[in-house]
Structure 1
Amino acid sequence: MKFDNYFDQQFELRYFEMNKLGLATPTIMLGLLEETAADHCYAIDHSIFDLFKMNVGWVLVSGVLQMDRYPSYKEKITIRTWLSSYSSIKGYRENIIFDENQNIIGRAKGLWVFFDIEKRKPIPIFNTIKEQWSFFNTSSIEHDIKKKINAVDSAHYTKQFTVHRFDTDMNKHVNNIRYLQWVIESIPEDIVDNYYLHTIDGRFIAEAQYSDTVLSLTKELPSATAFEHTIKIEGSDKICATAHTHWKTY
Structure 2
Amino acid sequence: MLKLSCNVTNHLHTFSFFSDSSFFIPVNRRTIAVSSSQLRKPALDPLRAVISADQGSISPVNSCTPADRFRPGRLMEDGYSYKEKFIVRSYEVGINKTATVETIANLLQKCGFSTDGFATTLTMRKLHLIWVTARMHIEIYKYPAWSDVVEIETWCQSEGRIGTRRDWILRDSATNEVIGRATSKWVMMNQDTRRLQRVTDEVRDEYLVFCPREPRLAFPEENNSSLKKIPKLEDPAQYSMLELKPRRADLDMNQHVNNVTYIGWVLESIPQEIIDTHELQVITLDYRRECQQDDIVDSLTTSEIPDDPISKFTGTNGSAMSSIQGHNESQFLHMLRLSENGQEINRGRTQWRKKSSR
Q: For 1:119, what is the secondary structure of its paired residue?
A: coil
Q: How does 1:1-250 map to 2 (within 5 A)?
A: 4=78, 5-36=80-111, 39-41=112-114, 46-49=115-118, 51=120, 54=125, 55-88=128-161, 90-100=163-173, 101-123=175-197, 124=199, 126-127=203-204, 129-135=206-212, 136-142=214-220, 143=224, 145=226, 147-153=228-234, 154-160=236-242, 161-222=244-305, 223=327, 224-250=329-355
Q: CA deviation digits over 1:218-246, x for unaligned, max 9?
A: 00123121111000011313101000101
Give, as a single letter, the amino acid of the residue that structure 2 aligns with 1:120: R
How far residue 217 of structure 1 moved from its aligned partner, in angstroms, is 0.1
Task: Tell me, in whole angstroms, the C-alpha distance in 1 between the residues paired with 2:225 and 2:77.
Answer: 23
CA distance in structure 2 between the aligned counterparts of 1:210 and 1:138, rounded to whole angstroms? 37
For 2:207, the aligned partner's letter is K
The CA deviation at 1:88 is 4.1
* Percent identical: 26
Shift of 1:128: 6.7
Q: Is the 8 A contact 2:119 2:131 kept in 1?
A: no
Q: TM-score, normalised by structure 1?
A: 0.88
Matching residue's letter, 2:172:
D
Contact kept, 8 Å, 2:149 with 2:172, in 1: the verdict is yes
Larger deviation, residues 22-31 vs 78-87: 78-87
Q: How many residues align?
A: 243
Decide which structure has the larger Cα Rg and report it: 2
TM-score (norm 2): 0.62
Q: Is the 8 A contact 1:83 1:137 kept in 2?
A: no
List alignment gaps of at least 5 residues for structure 1.
Answer: none
Query: Contact (CA 8 Å) 1:61, 1:112: kept in 2 or not?
Result: yes
60-69 vs 118-127, which moves further: 118-127
Name the SS of the counterpart of 1:184 in structure 2.
helix
Q: For residue 132 of structure 1, report the CA deviation from its aligned partner.
A: 2.9
